[in-house]
Amino acid sequence: CFLNWESNEMRLALIQMDSKVGEIDRNVDTAMGMIDQAASDGASMILLPEYWSTGFFPGLRDYKLYDLAAPDDGPAMSAIKTKAHEHRIHIVSTIYEREGSDLYYDTAMLVNDEGRIIGKYRKTHLFDTEKNYFDRGDLPLSVFDIGSARIGVMICFDWRFPESARTLSLAGADLIAHPSNLVLPHCPQAIITRCLENRIFVITANRVGIEERISGNPLHFIGQSQVVDP
């Protein structure tokens, strides 16, 4: 997708993938192949879905999955940093982040074209069973300037609260990157409203696929990744 505003422009790719719970090596391989493809198609910025490396493990209600968490130099983020540097692109990647020995966050990181993390945001509005796994985000909704754009980040269920996009808009965002694992049907429409009311772009990368749960009710992820203009 090609975005153009004021005198700036950006070629953008959204990755929409199916991830398998706990199969980090396989999910990383899949995503890195897609990043290579998007970069060779000319993307200068890439957004991955939430949970791209771990799968949506909170849906399983299995309390033994804390070991999927990793620090920001673990295998998934190391692969992202290497690709960002190799292709000279910006990447927004969300991981199950462990800080120290006992803090766990749903964290989106903006990696620059030198492979360095230049922004972090930890999800504020935890969805349903996510509260079993994550501490509530301790970093404010923030905007990071990459030269061609001022990028705000919110994560999945943050969409449900108009204050998230408004806060980022008031902080000067041109564009909100919105990594997601959406199951509710309303988000794609609601994002259009968020863009209209705030005069911003929002890009949502969502996953696809189905995840079985112990409770029997499988989760169906709705895909529908989208780019919406102001």
Give one word for 31, left, alpha or beta, with left for phi > 0 and alpha for psi -120 to 50: alpha
Q: How far is the CB of 64 from ligand ACM (least distance, A)?
A: 20
Q: Which of 30, 50, 90, 98 binds ligand ACM (CB under 6 A)?
A: 50
d(CA 70, CA 54): 10
Residue 127 or 201: the one with the smaller Cβ distance to ligand ACM is 127
86 catalytic residue (yes or no):
no
Pick the catalytic residue: 81, 123, 187, 195?
123
Q: How far is the CB of 16 from ligand ACM (least distance, A)?
A: 15
d(CA 64, CA 75): 20
Q: How far is the CB of 23 from ligand ACM (least distance, A)?
A: 19
The answer to whether residue 181 forms part of the interface with ligand ACM (CB under 6 A) is: yes
Residues 26-45 contacting ligand ACM, CB under 6 A = none
How many residues bind to ligand ACM according to rule CB under 6 A?
6
46 closest CA partner among 57, 34, 60: 34
Does residue 94 contact residue 50 with C-beta atoms inside 8 Å? yes
Residues 100-139 contacting ligand ACM, CB under 6 A = 127
d(CA 141, CA 227): 20
Q: Which of 96, 133, 157, 201 binds ligand ACM (CB under 6 A)?
A: 157
Pick the catalytic residue: 81, 83, 130, 156?
156
156 catalytic residue (yes or no):
yes
The neighbour count for residue 152, using CB atoms within 10 Å, is 29
Does residue 201 contact residue 228 with C-beta atoms inside 8 Å? yes
**Burial class for 31, CB neighbours closer than 10 Å (0-12, 13-18, 19+):** buried
123 catalytic residue (yes or no):
yes
* Residues binding ligand ACM (CB under 6 A): 50, 127, 156-157, 181-182
Residue positions annotated with a catalytic role = 50, 123, 156
